[in-house]
Amino acid sequence: MSRKILIADDEQQLLDTVRAYLENSGFQVVSARTGREALFAFRHEKPDLVILDVMMPEMDGWEAARLIRRESEAPILFLTARVDDVDKITGLEIGADEYITKPFSPRVLVAQVRAVLRRVYGELASEPEVWRVGALELDGGTRTVRLDGARVDLTASEFDLLAILMARPGRVFTRMELLERLQGEAFAPYERTIDVHVKNIRAKIEPNPREPSYIETVYGVGYRLREE
């Protein structure tokens, strides 16, 4: 099945180049030049993955992503010319799955798109395992999480991170190990990515995120899921 990609950027030349590479790789592509156009296209085209430039007219990528996240857990990749930690953390807290810094190679972008799609719609989706720890349940087949029977909405990366931890309760994972499992070794690591994802997950599953009962911090090392 051909996956549909939405890319939004106010640079027409970049849009045309990326569109050509994605279409040559077998993807359907929908493009937009402003945040508002991106939101309209998202609602009408229902893409499988969204690529958003951070700086766009009318509505920036941050706001477009926030509005998309209210409606969907489709993976989001941000494009940005800035490389400071504040931008990265902002994107991750909104629910971004990847960060791509300009200038970039279109071939690398296509590889990253494939990796995210494979992770979200392929490998874990084909695993029927259901894991339960206390009142928390994760179904790898349907990619759903429930707490006390109520559905918990997680982004694709949040789900994958929680699945890694729940599959091995009690095992300590370093931040770099979790990053490599989520992103693969081909992409530049940014360890704060894991901290932000864990913070977001805790806010959704922990009765008291400041005193977590599920995801435990192992100081100086990483994280583990507490055993029952």
Is pTM beyond 0.85? Reply is no
Q: What is the mean pLDDT of residues 193-198?
A: 90
- Average pLDDT, rounded, for the chain: 86
Question: What is the predicted pLDDT for the residue at 161?
Answer: 92
Residue 125 has pLDDT above 70, yes or no: no
Most confident of 28-37, 86-95, 141-150: 28-37
Interatomic CA distance for residues 191 and 197, integer angstroms:
11
Beta-carbon contacts of 154 under 8 Å, excluding residues fewer than 6 positions away, are: 73, 145, 162, 201, 204
The predicted structure's pLDDT at residue 93: 81
- The two tokens of residue 53 are 């430039």
pLDDT of residue 73: 86
pLDDT at residue 66 in the model: 93
Identify the pLDDT of residue 205: 96
The span from the CA of 168 to the CA of 164, in Å, is 7
Banded pLDDT at 213 (limits 50, 70, 90): very high
pLDDT over 90 percentage in the chain? 46
Segment of 111-125, 157-171, 180-194 carrying the highest mean pLDDT: 157-171
Q: Pick the residue with more confidence: 62 or 186?
A: 62
Domain 127-225 has CATH 1.10.10.10: yes
By mean pLDDT, which of 2-16, 39-53, 108-122, 136-150 is the weakest? 108-122
Sheet holding 28-32, edge to edge: 28-32, 4-8, 49-53, 76-80, 98-101
Q: What is the pLDDT at residue 176?
A: 86
222 has pLDDT over 60? yes
Calculate the alpha carbon distances from 137 to 55, 74, 146, 207 in Å: 38, 21, 5, 15
Domain ranges (residues) in the chain: 4-123, 127-225
Q: How confident is the model at residue 35 (pLDDT cuts 50, 70, 90)?
A: very high
Domains 4-123 and 127-225 share a fold: no
Question: Is 136 in a helix, a strand, or coil?
Answer: strand
Q: Please report the pLDDT score of residue 186 as a whole number.
A: 40
Instruction: Tell me the per-residue pLDDT of 42-90, one tens digit each, with 9 for 90 and over.
Output: 999 999 999 999 999 889 999 999 999 999 889 999 998 876 777 777 8
Rounded-to-integer distance, Cα 46 and Cα 17, Å: 22
d(CA 20, CA 225): 43
CATH class of 4-123: alpha beta
Residue 129 φ/ψ region, left for φ over 0, alpha for ψ in the -120 to 50 degree band, beta for the rest? beta
What is the arithmetic mean of pLDDT over 174-189? 69
